Structure formats: structure tokens, C-alpha cells
Chain A
């Protein structure tokens, strides 16, 4: 599975991470890592801090305290060239965040050309290759508004892949989608995982976590409560908080009967 066996240390390493929004401490000392080629799914109730944790990895949120090392670069070092580190980290957002004023192809080429300084021909070739991968090469010329949510998210994945990232961050990639559109997006992600991509996925898709993740991390109240292989965390959780969360997620109708 290991795609970058040569790199030393984990792909993501986080030590004692704290994040505070005003008076609210969202992350209360997180230790966390993702190995090269590993797929880690982070689950937990809304407000548990899992998205904030993910957004700290590429510094979309500035940590209050703690140390984050990504692919050998310490992103919490004030001297770090964060733009250079972000080029190596692909990110997929809940709301897709495609650029609406650009065509699908241009969405995939603009950063290649402006950031990586690739020529038009090379950027176009890389873009088409990645669009083919997500099954949307025939929509290269249209604008994002003409695509369904599921198609937009697949384009967003292709956009991130076009930069040739060493690892990918997914922030609830299917939460904004109609249920019938979720499957195509998950299929693309599963394929990526099979190819050995290092992935950190914040998600509510328990079946995806069970089938694709190497490790599942359960967060609640700004701390990591429990982690381990999916069968352990999802089938035989040790902590009461994990059990309560899973009961609510797996059987929403019974939610009222389980108190946290």
C-alpha cells in the first residue's frame, strides 16, 4: 500500500494540537497521525472538532498551540512557505467550492498553470487524464452550474488530483449531496484509496469508513476518544461515547432512546 516508502515519518503528524475560537476551545490537545498510504476516517458528532482538525492540516485554520508536520514540513513553523506545502496537499470541500466563472477544464488547469507554471498543453493533458479518472471528461467544456452536485464533487476531486498531491484531505465530501448522488463520489474515493493515496477523510458515511479505512478515529468534544481498525471501532467500540454516537448514526430512528 505504501506509495511513498522513501519518505521518513508519517504523512501527517500532529502533537498536542489546540484550537480556540474566541472563548470556545474546539480542539483540546489532539495527538494524531496518518501514515503514508494510509486511509484514516475521522468520525464524530457535529461540533466535535473533526473538520477543524482537518482544516488545521493545511492551515486553513491557524492552530492556537501545538505542532503539525505534513510530508516532512512543519506547517506550524511561522517561517514555512505554506503555499508550497499546500501544493502537495489536495483538499476536497463539503460545498465543492468549484470556481463558477471557469469551465470544468479551467477549474482543473488554473492552479496548474498559475502555481506550478505548467504550459497549457501539459495542464490540459493532466486535467483530461484526471477528468477521465472521475468519469467526466465529456463535460470538460461546461460550467460547474451545469453539473449535478455529485458531478461537481467529482470535478473537485479531479481538480485537487491535477496538482499531483502526496496526500488528500476530504472534509465531509458527501454531506451536501442528495443520497442518490453519494455513491459515485464514494466510488471515486475508493478507487483512490485502492491506488494507495494517503487520505484523511472526515465523514458520516459509516459503510465507507468500514470498507475503505485502514483506521477509524472517533472524536467528541475536541478530543480523540477512540481509534483503531474499523471493525474494532465500529463493531466493538470500547468507549460509551462511541457506542452512543454509533447507535444514533446507524439507527437515526432510535436516536431518542439513547442518551449521551
Chain B
């Protein structure tokens, strides 16, 4: 009691008053930062360069029919390939055969460590040099799916492995006691439960891939194969105005924000199911 009384006297404030003071300080700093930014920015130049409606208008309908469409196609193709490859790597990682585990580890460490940009350049420039005459099924689409898949598989493999390990050991035992082989038990019992657990992190991975699809820029694509970023950049350099970049950027948010909301709902759902 004595200590408490002394502390109170020194600051002269109750705990409640201190909390209020701290909160007021936080608001003040925030408002100051906003006002300062608004005052210091050159709004006329900004408006001129980034928000010209006539440049935005000329982006339609190709923004949706070509650019957004291609972004979605690239992302989904890359995700599908990455998921298959990631599952394979995850199963190798959990294998009882040591060489498989090592191969999986090497793959994960390399492709998780390399910047996605470097992987795109390797796939776009390195592979054709290494294997002359190599052509991807599906042309550019196949090439992009391959590069995006390589990037995402390393992350997904670790996520899938964690999901598999989160399924209680008794599930495998029960399945085996019913006469299922190890592979059958994995396919029918363990992996379905693992995927239920990892749907939220996998959806997050989809959001990341969606953005990484902008690296298609470095593969060299034809007009009809352009995705959002390339499309926005081409128009921006054509018009010497950055409005198309802003519009293309906002288009990403149209997809990623609902996906983020979906992830939060799935996570809440999973928490309830436990």
C-alpha cells in the first residue's frame, strides 16, 4: 500500500487518467502525421500524374477482359502446379527414405530463399539456354505456371507438412488397424484432414501468388498475354502518366481484400470446429 501511495503522489495521476493521456497522445501523433503529409505533398502534381480520369477510362475494357483475366489465369495455374508439387515435396520431406528427405529439404531451402524475380529470370532466360528447343505446354501460360509453381511449392510444402503433422497419430493408427495401406490411409484419412487445417494459410499463399504473377513482366509476353502490372506499365509509358499504374494496382485490391476476408472467416470457422 505504501509503495502504491507514493507512486500515485509522484505522477499525480490515477491509472485511469494515465490511460486517457496515453490514448490522447496516440491520436495527436496520428493526426499530426496525416496533416503534415497532406501539407507537404504536392497535390497538383499528384493529381496530374496519378488520377487522370481520361487515362483511367481508356484502360477499359482491356483492364478486365485481358489484364485481370490473365492475372487470374496465371495465378490459378501457378497455384495448381505449386499445390501438386508442394504436396509431392511435403510427402518426400516426411518420407522414411533419407535421400527423399534431403532432396525435399534442398528444394525448400533453395526456392524459399531465392527471390521470385530470380526464379522468373532463370525460367525465362536460363531454361531456354540450357535446353535449346524446349517449349512449355500452353506457351507463356505454361511457363508462368511453372515459374509461379516453383516459387509457391516451397512454401506450400512446409505448410502441407505442418498440416499432416497436425493430424493426430491415432488417425493413422485407426486407418492402419482397419487394414488400409500407408498410402491409402494418407489419401483417405490423413491428407483430407490436413487440408482442412491448412486452407487458411493456403489461401494466404494464393494472395501472395496473385501479386507475384506481376513478375511475368520479366518473361517477355505478347500483347494478349499481358497481366495487370505489365498492362498498367505499358499504358503509363505510352501516355507518360502514371494513372494506369494506380488503376492496375487498385484492381489487385479488388481481389486480395475479399480473399483476405475469406481467410479470416475460414480461420474463425476452424477455431470453432476444434
Complex interface: stretch among B22-30, B150-158, B186-194, B239-247 = B186-194
Chain B proximity of A250: nearest CB distance (Å):
30
Check A148 for interface membership: any CB of B closer than 8 A: no
Say whether B179 contacts A163, CB under 8 Å.
yes
Given contacts A97-B171, A100-B193, A101-B196, contact A86 B188 (CB under 8 A): no
> Which residues of the other chain, A, contact B180 by a CB distance below 8 angstroms?
83, 111, 114-115
Check A199 for interface membership: any CB of B closer than 8 A: no
Say whether B178 contacts A86, CB under 8 Å.
yes
Check B177 for interface membership: any CB of A closer than 8 A: yes
Check B170 for interface membership: any CB of A closer than 8 A: yes
> Which residues of the other chain, A, contact B176 by a CB distance below 8 angstroms?
60, 83, 86
Taking a contact as CB atoms closer than 8 A, the residue among A90, A93, A115, A160 that contacts B184 in the complex is A115
Residues of B146-203 whose CB lies within 8 A of A:
168, 170-171, 173-181, 184, 188-189, 192-193, 196
1/0 contact trace for A76-101 toward B, CB 8 Å? 00000001101101110101011111
Cα of A84 to Cα of B180 in the assembled complex, Å: 9
Say whether B178 contacts A101, CB under 8 Å.
no
Say whether A111 contacts B179, CB under 8 Å.
yes
> Which residues of the other chain, B, contact A163 by a CB distance below 8 angstroms?
178-179
Chain B proximity of A110: nearest CB distance (Å):
6
Given contacts A93-B170, A110-B188, contact A86 B179 (CB under 8 A): yes
Say whether A95 contacts B170, CB under 8 Å.
yes
> Which residues of the other chain, B, contact A98 by a CB distance below 8 angstroms?
174
Cα of A92 to Cα of B86 in the assembled complex, Å: 34
> Which residues of the other chain, A, contact B177 by a CB distance below 8 angstroms?
58, 60, 86, 89-91, 160
Say whether B174 contacts A115, CB under 8 Å.
no
> Which residues of the other chain, A, contact B175 by a CB distance below 8 angstroms?
99, 111
Given contacts A86-B176, A91-B177, A93-B173, contact A101 B193 (CB under 8 A): yes
Cα of A93 to Cα of B170 in the assembled complex, Å: 8
1/0 contact trace for B44-85 toward A, CB 8 Å? 000000000000000000000000000000000000000000
Chain B proximity of A177: nearest CB distance (Å):
16
Chain B proximity of A84: nearest CB distance (Å):
7
Cα of A160 to Cα of B174 in the assembled complex, Å: 9
The 5 residue pairs across chains A and B that have the minimum distance between CB atoms: A87-B179, A97-B174, A111-B178, A91-B177, A97-B170
B-to-A contact residues, CB < 8 Å: 168, 170-171, 173-181, 184, 188-189, 192-193, 196, 273
30 CB-based A-B contacts, threshold 8 Å: A58-B177, A60-B173, A60-B176, A60-B177, A83-B176, A83-B179, A83-B181, A86-B176, A86-B178, A86-B179, A90-B177, A93-B173, A93-B174, A95-B170, A97-B168, A97-B171, A97-B173, A97-B174, A99-B175, A99-B193, A101-B193, A101-B196, A110-B189, A111-B175, A114-B188, A115-B178, A115-B179, A115-B184, A116-B179, A145-B273
Sample of 8 more A-B contacts, CB < 8 Å, known A95-B168, A163-B178: A60-B177, A83-B176, A89-B177, A95-B170, A99-B193, A111-B180, A114-B180, A163-B179
